Structure 1
């Protein structure tokens, strides 16, 4: 996405990290691809028909050079055409940044209620993690399949797997779009509004956000993306953004260029509150 945004706004440079990082190289390659298309004067001459339907939205873990995965999303149309998006790995170092959801972060569930002695509770985020002293033998001794699955996921990639974020795409996000025609998908802003509204809805359902929360509190939750995961939301936004662009007969940077300076923050988050 950084490459498409940078190209869209005619940025003089793009800082993506070290050249040895695979995901950084992908961004640089995308810039080269876009520059090549621009130099040729390439234009899409046959936009996708608006009555085509989205047949599937699927997600997988995608390997990165860091040895831990991120989320990749593929949106497939009924005619077989597909659009892909994957979120770069990592969480920003600042406070209140968007959350790259990993499997060692556990939501409240029957296992956390049944075995409180095995978990530490994060009061700020209202999530759980296995205590450091918990071992495989302790978990196996409980003879509980749900607990064992939580433990297995918490061990994968040192706790940094993202199967939960993958499942969030397929369980929560996919139903928003599968079966819709391209015309019904709306604009990229419409797509992002739906994704952010779903993040807020999950936060309320999980008891992390009061239904009558102040506007700034609601926006903060949507910016953090800790329920669906930044890696789930942004990968879907990128894949669907490419779909929207193809429907309009343009490349994604063309859509982003049109949006530059024209996004109403309040409309994007579309929250009610004082």
Structure 2
């Protein structure tokens, strides 16, 4: 069906929440489109897929213009005309085109941004919410998961060996209520850790979790 065929793939360099360049990809399917931004974790394992970064002096070497070029040339040529709802075929085709065990030639950041944009574009083309498109049996909207206390690699001072303690506002009737509950817990926790451990406990890491206390 022509109305499900990918008609264009666009990419640009944007900033993430840590002021680090990352990729934004938009996939067009006729008059519909889907956009996604490549995420980036702070801790990087030796067996993780490899991002494609520019190197050099610009942005301290972490620019994404090389990845943008890969998306708007090789990946665009690969994807134009493919059925946007065939997620597995799209992902497998991109991995085959990359040809490396760790996604280093085209960049894991490029592949994941394109893959996610395809999912959004497919959902929008079918006029479905993303969570329902991904899981046809879904009957409730997913809840946000918030990082409130951080330890391990993310900690300052003497903290927990567990890297993250998260809160899921299960039972909220809407996303608005879920965010209200999350905010309430965050500031309640702020008061608690400040009272128990002092003002240094107000320090948060790059993920926003409280990450300092004295045993």
Q: Tell me the TM-score range normalised by the shorter chain.
A: 0.5 to 0.7
Q: How far did residue 162 of structure 1 move?
A: 0.9
Q: How far did residue 157 of structure 1 move?
A: 0.4
Within the candidate set 9, 16, 27, 1:64 is matched to 16
Q: 1:169 is matched with which residue?
A: 71
Q: How far did residue 155 of structure 1 move?
A: 0.9
Q: 2:118 is matched with which residue?
A: 240
Q: How far did residue 58 of structure 1 move?
A: 0.8
CA distance in 2, matches of 1:243, 1:63: 22
Q: 2:192 is matched with which residue?
A: none
**Runs of 5+ consecutive residues of structure 2 not aligned to the other structure:** 139-215
**Runs of 5+ consecutive residues of structure 1 not aligned to the other structure:** 1-49, 105-153, 204-220, 261-274
Q: 2:86 is matched with which residue?
A: 187
Within the candidate set 15, 25, 31, 1:73 is matched to 25
Equivalent pair of 1:69/1:89 in contact (CA under 8 Å): no
* Range with greater deviation from structure 2 (66-75 or 244-253): 244-253
| C-alpha spacing 1:65/1:247, structure 2 compared with 1 (3 Å) | closer
Within the candidate set 48, 54, 58, 2:6 is matched to 54
Give the length in aligned residue pairs. 137
Structure 1 runs of 4+ with >6 Å offset = none
CA distance in 2, matches of 1:244, 1:99: 26
Residues 60-103 of structure 1: CA distance to partner in whole angstroms, max 9, x if unpaired?
Answer: 00112322210110112333x22101111236422210112211
Higher helix share: 1
| RMSD (CA atoms) | 2.3
Q: How far did residue 161 of structure 1 move?
A: 0.4
Equivalent pair of 2:33/2:125 in contact (CA under 8 Å): no
Q: 2:50 is matched with which residue?
A: 99
| C-alpha spacing 1:65/1:243, structure 2 compared with 1 (3 Å) | closer
Correspondence 1:257 to 2:209? no
Q: SS of the counterpart of 1:72?
A: strand
| C-alpha spacing 1:238/1:73, structure 2 compared with 1 (3 Å) | same
CA distance in 2, matches of 1:91, 1:194: 28
CA distance in 2, matches of 1:192, 1:91: 25
Within the candidate set 96, 114, 122, 1:197 is matched to 96
Q: SS of the counterpart of 2:7?
A: strand
Q: How far did residue 54 of structure 1 move?
A: 2.9
CA distance in 2, matches of 1:197, 1:233: 11
| C-alpha spacing 1:249/1:78, structure 2 compared with 1 (3 Å) | closer
- TM-score w.r.t. length of structure 1: 0.45
Equivalent pair of 1:91/1:99 in contact (CA under 8 Å): no
CA distance in 1, matches of 2:104, 2:135: 28
Residues 144-188 of structure 1: CA distance to partner in whole angstroms, max 9, x if unpaired?
Answer: xxxxxxxxxx1110011011111111111111122x16xx34421
The within-5 A match list for 1:261-272 is: none
- TM-score w.r.t. length of structure 2: 0.57
